[in-house]
Amino acid sequence: MDIKLLAERFYDYSLFIRGYSKETIKRYRQVIQFYCQWAAVEKIEDVTNENVRSFLFYGRTKRQWKANTFIIYHKTFVVFFRWCQAEGYLKSSPVGDIEVPKLEKRLPNKFTKQNALRLLEVVFNYPYKYRFVRYRNHAMFSMFIFAGLRFKELLKLKYTDVDIENLTIFVNQGKGSKDRIVPMSLALAQTLKRYLDERKRLNKTCPEFFTSLTLNRGITKDGIKHIVTEMRAASGLKFTIHKLRHTFATLMLEGGCDIYSLSQMMGHSDIKTTTIYLYASPQHLRSQITKHPLNDLV
């Protein structure tokens, strides 16, 4: 059986039956195509434990894959070959006993409170040509820092998803195909309202919440990336949008938010994912050490 045709069936199954995201399907496609090209595999019968193992070893040693990249490739093979086995195209999985490297445990990269405030100040005071762009950009960065939205979640955000009156943000089908509601602080609500008033003045009627300046449509992925590049240069701060999400999480803990509530706001499937922020916040840990019962003896 031609492995490319088989893979196309697997992609359709994963998308329409399993309900995996388009991003996941894209990853499956990239991994399988790269493997087939590297190992010169054309038929499913050509797949062996040896050439899968050699491919993964090549990636880890020659292409300098990090442990996380290796694990992503390994997981893709596990899912694809398990499906092939269930469909009767393989007797056993060629992934077999291939070991995976231990994932490095790193603390999330985040801003201090001072740098987060500095970035918001730079974003607002940047010498824009148009008032709309000033209010929109400030609202976008406030969404990342005050609500912890992911990049793709902000891009998909609709006008009707933001309820300023009830101080809520509805995240429709975020990562893992999960809906969630994120509460909105009064500071964020004021920033968003200022942007919405300006949006209304310019008669922006598209369904997307954050819109283009010149066109009546949502701002694009490249548009946001361009703004981030400008703000990096203007502020002198090195950051990614995901770093701003990490900043939201650590600042929430430092402010006294409990770990369960933060997990819900972040949209984590497992609360263990959220607990890493406990270690990323020295201020939070310092506040806890004061609870030692022998401190009063000093």
Would you list the DSSP string of 107-156?
PPP---HHHHHHHHHHHHHS--S-HHHHHHHHHHHHHHHHH---HHHHHH
Q: Among positive and negative, which fits the CA dihedral 103, 104, 109, 112?
A: positive
Nearest 10 degrees: Cα torsion 42, 48, 51, 55: 90
pLDDT the model gives residue 86: 95
Q: How far apart are the first and last CA of the chain?
A: 75
Map residue 12 onto helix, strand or coil: helix
What residues have CB less than 8 Å from 155, skipping those under 6 apart?
A: 210, 218, 219, 221, 224
Q: What is the DSSP letter of 170?
A: E
| Position with higher pLDDT, 291 vs 224 | 224
User: Measured between alpha carbons, how far is 163 from 34 in angstroms, rounded to an integer?
Assistant: 44
Residues of CATH 1.10.150 domain(s) within the chain?
3-86
Work out the angle at residue 249's Cα, subtended by the Cα atoms of residues 245 and 254, and round it to the nearest 5 degrees: 140
How large is the average pLDDT for residues 13-34?
94
How large is the average pLDDT for residues 287-295?
75
Work out the angle at residue 93's Cα, subtended by the Cα atoms of residues 90 and 96, and round it to the nearest 5 degrees: 155
Instruction: Looking at the structure, give the CATH architecture of the domain made up of residues 3-86.
Output: Orthogonal Bundle (1.10)
pLDDT the model gives residue 297: 64
pTM of the model: 0.80
Asked if pLDDT for residue 163 goes beyond 90, the answer is: yes
Q: What is the DSSP letter of 214?
A: S
Task: Say if CB 151 and CB 143 are below 8 A apart.
Answer: no
User: Residue 298 — pLDDT band, cuts 50, 70, 90?
Assistant: low
Map residue 292 onto helix, strand or coil: coil
Residues of CATH 1.10.443.10 domain(s) within the chain?
113-289
Task: Say if CB 92 and CB 79 are below 8 A apart.
Answer: no
Instruction: Looking at the structure, give the CATH architecture of the domain made up of residues 113-289.
Output: Orthogonal Bundle (1.10)
148 DSSP β-pair partners: none
Phi, psi torsion values for 195, nearest 5 degrees: -65, -45
pLDDT tens, position by position, 257-280: 999 999 999 999 888 888 888 776
User: Measured between alpha carbons, how far is 298 from 136 in angstroms, rounded to an integer?
Assistant: 52
69 DSSP β-pair partners: none
